[in-house]
Amino acid sequence: MPKPIIGVMPLWDDEKESIWMLPGYFDGIINAGGTPVMLPFISDEHDLHRLMNICDGILFTGGHDVSPELYGEEPVESVSSCKMRDDMEKIVLEKAIVTDKPVLGICRGIQFINAALGGTLYQDLPTQYQSKTDHHQKPPYDIPVHLVSIAKDSPLFKCLNTEQIQVNSYHHQAVKDVAPNLKVMATSADGLVEGLYMPQHRFLWAVQWHPEFSYLKDENSRKIFKAFVDSMIIYE
């Protein structure tokens, strides 16, 4: 049986003006039985739609802050966004939803998906949502630093079969108001949204933590990648 092909959003380096990739995104997919392909850094709608025709699913990676323009706000001083990436991901997400292709969002991924679908974000957690929970840990990033509670009526609970897990955490922004078509499936102890899904979509999950850093040590991280890849069997 052919392995599902998964388009992975590229990371962008402002200083080097280059695209790059963290190996954990690819390795997590490969370990789960998929074949990852990094998409080019473009925003041409026609070209992106052609590329998506060969992809069975899409992974929205971490990286730059999501531009507040997506949800009608002026950026605060600490926001560092990338317009090309926002434009590219908006096209890809819309196409993935229309074609019902599986989507997994990680870190920036959950933030972008929420903002693009009509939600809002905390632009700068340290000033807009002060908390004792560690949301910006220091290396190594495969060590869990806080607890996440999982909604029992969510697909994440069905996947992991537990109400609480320990996760790693490294993010500057976070979900504020949840988009109308999304539902919360995980929260941190301080009340921040840590997981979202779209009930009417075949598979659209997004998490705030980083399974790409922890999948080697953490079974729950591997299960998330596996659920994502397994959801594409419909396209075989």
Question: Is the CB of residue 205 less than 8 Å from the CB of residue 104?
Answer: yes
- How far is Cα 162 from Cα 150, in angstroms, rounded to an integer? 7
Both structure tokens of 230? 């397994």
- Beta carbons within 10 angstroms of residue 132's beta carbon: 7
| CA proximity to 187, closest of 159, 203, 218, 164 | 164
Q: Which helix (H) or strand (E) holds 48?
A: helix 45-52
In our burial notation (b when 16+ CB lie closer than 10 A, e otherwise), range 13-23 reads: eeeeeeeeebe
Catalytic (active-site) positions: 107, 210, 212
- Helix, strand, coil abundance in the chain, percent, nearest 5: 35, 25, 45
DSSP symbol at 193:
E
